[in-house]
Amino acid sequence: IRMAIIKKYIIYPFCIMILFSCCTPKSYNYLEDLHNGEILSTQKNGIIKLAPYDKISIIVKSKNPEISNLFNNSIVQDVSSGYTSGIQYLTGYTINQDGNIEFPVLGAIRIAGLTKNEAEQLIKEKLISNGMLKDALITIEYMNLSYSVLGEVASPGQKQINKDVTNIFEALGTAGDIDIYGKRDSVMIIRNENDQKKVYILNLNSAKDVYSSDAYYIHQNDLIYVKSNDVKIRQRTVNGNNTRNLSFWASVVSVITTIAVLIFK
């Protein structure tokens, strides 16, 4: 009878405690609430819009290269010791604080708030309407657009934007993904909006939370910060993790001692 009581009230609960202490946290995996065949929609298309202080390249091409080259003053040819080396590079255009660029011949053009394709179309229309080039082909590329990923990721730092749409998972992928010490349920995105900082908190465990958020798509100058989980925080605390380990094993020894006393008494 005594042994049955010991098993019921001491040994079994102790075993259950050990099992739960070894379980993988439920908040470790991404998008845990997704089901096969489920369809989710995002808030918007996520295409980056140009903003003040963005740097871009603009190349104009047409059937008449002599005229189109008049608009390509951002292409500089490297000259060394009086001889042209033939190497060309782009100086680019930086959008000023008013959202404008100074374009050759056409002057100030406001492109802030436009997508890359919209800005290309606007410049093309201005060239046509001014009777300069009727067959102009405009190509705009990003030069200094980036976002930053900090915290518990494999490769933190500033990451370049080289395409029109980047989502949060792609952004974390460029940083080598969240490591085992990162909190996936509260990833922070800090964004510049109307001269203010707006904070978004994403629970990457929840598909519904991620895909419905305005922060699902990354913008230029976003700061993505992955917080440390409790394990990492304890490790960073002086003797924090050691103290917990000692307390845990002291409890284990105490339970085992109690069981032994009850059995052999």
State how far the alpha carbon of 131 is from the alpha carbons of 62, 105, 128, 134, in Å.
13, 12, 5, 7
Instruction: Name the phi and psi angles at 244, rounded to 5.
Output: -65, -40
Average pLDDT, whole number, for the chain? 82
* pLDDT-based confidence at residue 52 (cuts at 50, 70, 90): very high
Q: Does residue 213 contact residue 186 with C-beta atoms inside 8 Å? A: no
pLDDT at 184 over 70: yes
Residue range 5-30: mean pLDDT, rounded: 57
Q: pLDDT per residue over 125-157, tens digit each? A: 999 999 888 899 999 999 999 999 999 999 999
75 band by pLDDT with thresholds 50, 70 and 90: low
For residue range 204-248, what is the model confidence (pLDDT) as tens digits? 999 999 999 999 999 999 999 999 988 777 776 655 555 555 666
